[in-house]
Structure 1
């Protein structure tokens, strides 16, 4: 399993209301396709910012990154709730913590 992270931000300050994490998670799942091999997604929301963590059963880290990017693009393009949001950072593989071993298993 590989983990990838991404950050979405409101494109305009007027759209910076805090979204509920459960709503964002539902939007992400609706945008995911079977080929994305998405196993789990976690959304942390604050005003004007959404931090996403994706867990994929892809065969490589690059596959997880590609799948996360595609899911983000689909979510932004298909959900009216995210119409005024954009990808700010990511997708990327998380840095491993010292002594924690690999960032993916």
Structure 2
């Protein structure tokens, strides 16, 4: 199983609206394709106002899981008018995701 950590942020013209992590998890599951091999998704509020941290678990490493996770997140963001202007980015070493605080929804 391959783990990919992402951070989603609202755009500069979008005020943080406190999107529940469970809503984002549902959007990601709905946007997932069989080829994504998505097994689990966990989410929690991120460190920046309105941001969300994600942990995506894929069934196998396959070709380029980080890029596949970003594409999946971008599909989910594009499918929801509420998330217009949001961006997805890899969680960086300077802003790590604390796995102990992630909750599956």
Q: TM-score range by the shorter chain?
A: 0.7 to 0.9
User: Is the strand fraction higher in 1 or 2?
Assistant: 1
Give the one of 47, 50, 54 matched to 1:52. 54
Q: Which runs of 4+ in 1 moved over 6 A?
A: none
Q: How many residues are treated as equivalent by the alignment?
A: 92
| Secondary structure in 2 matching 1:59 | coil
Partner of 2:103: none
Structure 1 residue 31: Cα displacement? 1.1
RMSD (Å), alpha carbons: 2.3
* Distance of 1:63 and 1:84 partners within structure 2: 25
Q: Note if 1:25 corresponds to 2:18.
A: no
Q: TM-score when scaled to structure 2? A: 0.75
Q: Which ranges of structure 2 fall in alignment gaps of 5 or more residues?
A: 97-105
Instruction: Please tell me whether Structure 1 or Structure 2 has the larger radius of gyration of its CA atoms.
Output: 1
